[in-house]
Amino acid sequence: MSQAVRDHRGRPIVVVTGIGIVTSLGQGKEDNWRNLLAGVSGIRRITRFPTEGLRTQIAGIVDWNSDERYCAPRHSINLAQQSATEAIEQASIGSRGSFPGPLFVANSPAETNWDQRMTVYGDEAGKGLRGYERLVKNAAAGDYLRYFRLFQFASIADTLADEFGTRGQPISLTTACASGATSVQLGAEAIRRGETDAALCIGTDGEICEEMVVRFNLLSALSTQNDDPQGASKPFSKGRDGFVMAEGSATLVLESYEAARARGAKILGVVRSAGERADTFHRTRSKPDGSAIIDCITRAMADAGMTPGDIDYINAHGTSTPENDKMEYLALSAALGDELANTPISSNKSMIGHTLSAAGAIEAAISLLTIQAGVMPPTINCNEQDPNIPMDVVPNESRVQSVNTVMSNSFGFGGQNVCLIFSAEPA
């Protein structure tokens, strides 16, 4: 009996018992899944702020859940609250406001934005002073306790820890575009160490503002196909010119298999492994030989005790930048060899856009839904696939096919790479 709840290395098996998702495709698993299978795009023209003069004017913004004036960390908290509430309800674990395990939150750094900066700037006390001298003077004279709380770097995780009553200090983490996957990895590691029977893993990102758009434009990372928002994110296709920024959140409730079975929880899937390898090459690009991401993928398979033939389907990082998609293909060819030809791969980002810090968690959640449903979401906008990326990208139409094991890739700026493998509940 004890054999069945430990993996091939004798570690506690980690399972998923709750999933929550919110993206530009909808609130909750059902809406998201329906739209993913239908090949719907959540990308639209930005209306949150004026886009005049910006090279990129499209994004997958989630605005329908908020009446309040936009404030980046507050919005990330709102999105996370939605996905976490859904996941915890599904897992039916703990009691309201008391989750029996630690919290790992992947989020963008909380930052004051221009709206708040100018609010403070306008106060009386510092009139006549310039720049930050004026802001400091006004901060000291004013009543900005709310800003103090919101813009501490760990504010998002801390607010969520209060709301969901998680145990111990929450960890607020970033590995750039791999962050969401890192949150799942940290949760799984804590359970494997036997520190806890459960962990709450959240990725959330609601930080699209004018400065973020300008910053990513400066790195030439974003699509500028403003005339066709829904067609702009086209991973693995010719004419792809960058990613489309988006917002969203996903939450996974992780548990040890033993604890989940003991309480009779429905098992949604197994976290088989996580592989990781940092790159040394460049701040925004992978090593030209792909060795770091190859290693990351190979390590994930080794950690799971799997070979390339065991992988049924790949949930791609697939950002739709010229560089990423080419490198991801190169790395997968090396890591999976001939098996890649038999392994379908698709990019959720073709529909959702790139939710940055949340992407790894959202794609982990969708990977698990794929296993449950036995349907692969498509890569949409695949009208002319890049001939240099000859993979089965599940073009344009979802595909019914039984999927037992999914690999989910996340590669971040700064060279932080994570590969997760999920599978169906062990027989």
Partner 1 sequence: MPRLGDRMNTKQSEVWITGIGLVSSLGEGLDDHWSQLATGNTPAASVDTEDQAPYPVHPIIDFDIAAQIPKRSDQRQMGKWQHLGTYAAGLALDDAGISHNPDLLAATNMIVAAGGGERDLEVDADIMEKIAGVEDFGPILNEALNSELRPTLFLAQLSNLMAGNISIVHGVTDSSRTFMGEESAGVTALETAVAQIRHGQGDLFLVGGAYIAERADMTMLMEFGHTLWQGEHESVWNRESTDGGMIMGSAGAFLILESRQHAESRGVKPYAKVDGIVSDRCTRQPGAARKNADKLFGQLSNEIPVGPLPVLSGCCGVQPQLSEEYEFLKSLNEHGIDAAVRGVTTIFGNTLEAQLPVSFALASLAISRGKFLDPFDESGFEKEFTDIPEHVLLSTWGHWRGECLALIGKPDVPLRGGE
Active site residues: 177, 317, 354
CA distance 296 to 420: 9
* The token pair that represents 308 in the structure block: 């390339």
Ordered DSSP codes for 34-99: HHHHHT----EE--SS--TT-S--EEB---TT--SPP-HHHHHHHHHHHHHHHHHHHHT-SBTTB-
Query: Which of 148, 288, 374, 388 touches partner 1 by CB under 8 A?
Result: 148
Give how many residues touch partner 1 by CB under 8 A. 85
C-alpha distance from residue 24 to each of 50, 87, 202, 361 (Å): 19, 18, 17, 15
6 in contact with partner 1 (CB under 8 A): yes
Q: Which residues of 254-267 are buried (b: 16+ CB within 10 A; e: fewer)?
A: bbbbbbbbeeebeb
Which range touches partner 1 (CB under 8 A), out of 58-66, 215-223, 225-233, 393-401? 215-223
19 in contact with partner 1 (CB under 8 A): no
Query: Which of 38, 40, 139, 375 touches partner 1 by CB under 8 A?
Result: 139
Query: Which of 14, 36, 292, 352 touches partner 1 by CB under 8 A?
Result: 292
262 in contact with partner 1 (CB under 8 A): no
State which residue, 120 or 380, has the beta carbon closest to partner 1.
120
Query: Which of 227, 302, 374, 426 touches partner 1 by CB under 8 A?
Result: 302
CA distance 375 to 313: 10
* The token pair that represents 302 in the structure block: 């080794």
CB of 36 to partner 1, least distance (A): 28
Which residue carries 């599940």 as its tokens? 394
125 in contact with partner 1 (CB under 8 A): no
CB of 32 to partner 1, least distance (A): 27
Question: How far does Cα 425 stand from its chain's mean position?
Answer: 23
CA distance 135 to 143: 13
Query: Which of 25, 36, 80, 135 touches partner 1 by CB under 8 A?
Result: 135
CB of 329 to partner 1, least distance (A): 22
For residue 360, the surrounding DSSP H or E stretch is helix 359-373
Residue pair 361/250 in contact by the 8 Å Cβ criterion: yes
318 in contact with partner 1 (CB under 8 A): no
State which residue, 161 or 232, has the beta carbon closest to partner 1.
161
User: x-or-dash pattern for partner 1, window 57-96, by CB under 8 A?
Assistant: ----------------------------------------
CB of 226 to partner 1, least distance (A): 14
